[in-house]
Amino acid sequence: MKTLVWVEHDGSSVKDATLAVVTAASKLGEVHLLVAGSGVDGVDGVAKEAAQIAGVGKVHVADNAAFGHNLPENIAPLVAELMASHDAFLAPATTTGKNIAPRVAALLDVMQISEILSVEGDKSFTRPIYAGNAIATVESSDAKLVLTVRGTAFDKAATSGGSGTIEAVSAGGDAGLSSFVGAEIAKQDRPELTSAKIIVSGGRALGSSEKYEEVIVPLADKLGAALGASRAAVDAGYVPNDYQVGQTGKIVAPQVYFAIGISGAIQHLAGMKDSKTIVAINKDEDAPIFQVADFGLVADLFSAVPELTGKI
Amino acid sequence: MKILVPVKRVLDYNVKPRVKSDGTGVDLANVKMSMNPFDEIGVEEAIRLKEKGVATEIVAVSVGPQKAQETLRTALAMGADRAILVQTDDAVEPLAIAKILKGIADAEQPGLVILGKQAIDDDNNQTGQMLAALTGWAQGTFASAVNVDGDSVNVTREVDGGLETVKLKLPAIVTTDLRLNEPRYASLPNIMKAKSKPLDTKTPADYGVDTTPRVKVVKVSEPPVRSAGVKVADVDELVAKLKAMGVHS
């Protein structure tokens, strides 16, 4: 089987999410990549980096102003055209992948299989449903596959050792339907949430953004951890939206997940219950989070967390 | 302009799903069902656009069993003007739903279709994007703000890392994210009034759509259960546990 993997990049380097997708694709067959973007230098650099990824065959490079901001109206027809010579399209289950892949699937008249957790056979996969409360094993009967891949479920492919050949693609252009207006990207000097080894997450019990800064941030700093939050903390405005872990936020599976002042609603658990070790600090001993926590501390977070920060 | 709001009847989000012991699916017998939360946000946004004078009519649509009428009545009670139920007892996949919605869009000629970003049962996150592909319209997924401006709409999207704004030519497809708005509750008088609002019943065949599934569900199982953890007595004990795991700066 020939697969085509969507390379998510920021215009200068390949994003980590792509590496897990390459691993999933390699279980199906030959791995080809697609680097689409705008601007010769950036896209060339990304393509060269992509070609180094272990196990990669061909790297298709589509450089066109229309591909600059991952607009699905412009990208999906390009992918659909390349799919004439591929059997499967795989994208990371990031906001970019989720935006593009279903549009590709409909253009190809196939059903997409979202957020696969494992490859069971050539056309068989597992995926979570009901916020991760059930796992479905599914089998496609379509001629071509369109898949999005949950990054935390697959090992990342090595970023070196590959020797892909780079080939320019001239297909596609501006569909004239949409344009990019602007972006506000939250500044973070810390590890990215979805790839961090340790995550310190805060919930509604913190009470304010000042307390989040005062209690959660120093512990994360000490551990070199990424910062996360429950939906309640995001909705209350303690932290930006992209900190949110859960069914509707990010799905994470770090080595250690600290849930601080988070009760553990099913929508939150959906985003973090595959973490290797879960540590919960909550003053309510009946909080559902304690049912999934490996280590639970029933205590007032405002005294326990600073003490913990001081002692590790 | 007319706005089309597809809504789905799903297991209520507060109910903990139970996997059937024969592995054929999740037990939906005698459990509370309600409107998919993201769809409520879609209905609310359509109503707000009508209140602003941008929208003239709101048509709620659902594909599903007879009981999906209840979900449509909820949308009507919130403020939708009329409803269409595409009735079928089969499980319909996003691609087939998108094809049915394309048929309805062709007939109704809406200026906007506002869907939820995902249904909380299948967690697919596909229907809006697929409908956009089939209609050839632009898509603004994971919307946290929608501003119609003449013959285009600016959609602010929640993306990994922050927010992004795109400008889409109308007609367009928007899918809602949680923070787009806070849906209103239907008042009792409005629930009563909704009973007399028009609700048409159609079938997938009316739109020439074959709903045969492309993806077969072989088995549904419980996720791996986490082994029971321990409660530690104090911070010192927690620190000792963390150090034993090698967690330190």
Look-up of token digits 């027809």: A77
pLDDT digits (tens, 9 = 90+) for A102-158: 999 999 999 999 999 999 999 999 999 998 899 999 999 999 999 999 998 999 999
Of B120, B139, B215, the CB nearest to A111: B215
Q: How far is CA B79 from CA A273, B101, B184, in A?
A: 38, 21, 10
Contacts of B215 in chain A (CB under 8 A): 111, 113, 138-142
A72, A96, A16: which is closest to A49 by C-alpha? Answer: A16
> Which ranges of chain B does DSSP label H, i.e. alpha helix?
37-51, 68-78, 94-108, 127-135, 188-194, 235-245
Strands A198-202 and A124-129: unpaired
As a dihedral over the C-alpha atoms of residue B191, residue B195, residue B197, residue B203, rounded to 10 degrees, the angle is: 120
Rounded CA separation A80/A148 (Å): 15
Question: In DSSP terms, which residues pair with B143 in a beta bridge?
Answer: B157, B176
Q: Chain A closest CA to B6's CA: distance in Å?
A: 17
List of chain A residues with pLDDT < 50: none
Structure tokens at A207: 């009470």
Chain B residues in contact with A260 (beta carbon < 8 A): none
Question: Which of A8, A103, A113, A222 to substitute to test the interface with B, most B CBs within 10 Å?
Answer: A103
A181·B166 Cβ contact <8 A: yes
Contacts of B209 in chain A (CB under 8 A): none
ipTM of this complex: 0.95
Q: For residue A203, what are the contacts with CB-CB under 8 A and spacing of at least 6?
A: A229, A230, A232, A233, A259, A260, A261, A262, A263
Query: Residue A16 is encoded by which pair of tokens?
Result: 């980590």
Name chain A contacts of B238, Cβ cutoff 8 Å.
279, 295, 297, 308
Q: Each residue of B174-192: pLDDT tens digit?
A: 999 988 999 999 999 999 9
Q: How many CB atoms within 10 Å of residue A271?
A: 27
**Do the chains contact at B167 and A129, CB–CB below 8 Å?**
no
**B17 in helix, strand or coil?**
coil
Instruction: Record the tokens describing residue B153, joined without a space.
Output: 């709409």
Q: Choose the mutation target among A16, A18, A112 for the interface with B, i.e. most B CBs under 10 Å.
A: A112
Q: What is the pLDDT of residues B90-120, one digit of tens each?
A: 999 999 999 999 999 999 999 999 999 999 9
| Secondary structure, 3-state, chain A | CEEEEECCECCCCECCHHHHHHHHHHCCCEEEEEEEECCHHHHHHHHHHHHCCCCEEEEEEEECHHHCCCCHHHHHHHHHHHHHHCCEEEEECCHHHHHHHHHHHHHCCCCEEEEECEECCCCEEEEEECCCCEEEEEEECCCCEEEEECHHHCCCCCCCCCCCEEEECCCCCCCCCEEEEEEEECCCCCCCHHHCCEEEEECHHHCCHHHHHHHHHHHHHHHCCEEEECHHHHHCCCCCHHHEECCCCECCCCCEEEEECCCCCHHHHHHHCCCCEEEEEECCCCCHHHHCCCEEEECCHHHHHHHHHHHC
Per-residue pLDDT for chain B (249 aa), expressed as one digit of tens each?
Answer: 999 999 999 999 888 899 999 999 999 999 999 999 999 999 999 999 999 999 999 999 999 999 999 999 999 999 999 999 999 999 999 999 999 999 999 999 999 999 999 999 999 999 999 999 999 999 999 999 999 999 999 999 999 888 999 999 999 999 999 889 999 999 999 999 999 999 999 999 999 999 999 999 999 999 988 877 899 999 999 999 999 888 764
Q: Which of A73, A234, A278 sits opposite B138 (nearest CB)?
A: A73
CB contact under 8 A, B242 and A279: yes
Distance separating alpha carbons of residues B158 and A37, to the nearest angstrom: 21
Q: What is the pTM of this model?
A: 0.93
Residue of B nearest to A237 (CA): B179
A216: closest CA of chain B, how far (Å): 15
Contact state of B166 with A130 under an 8 Å Cβ cutoff: no
Local structure of B96: helix, strand or coil: helix
Greatest alpha-carbon pair distance for chain A in Å reads: 61
Is residue B17 less than 8 Å (CB to CB) from chain A? yes
Residues of B in contact with A231 (CB under 8 A): 178
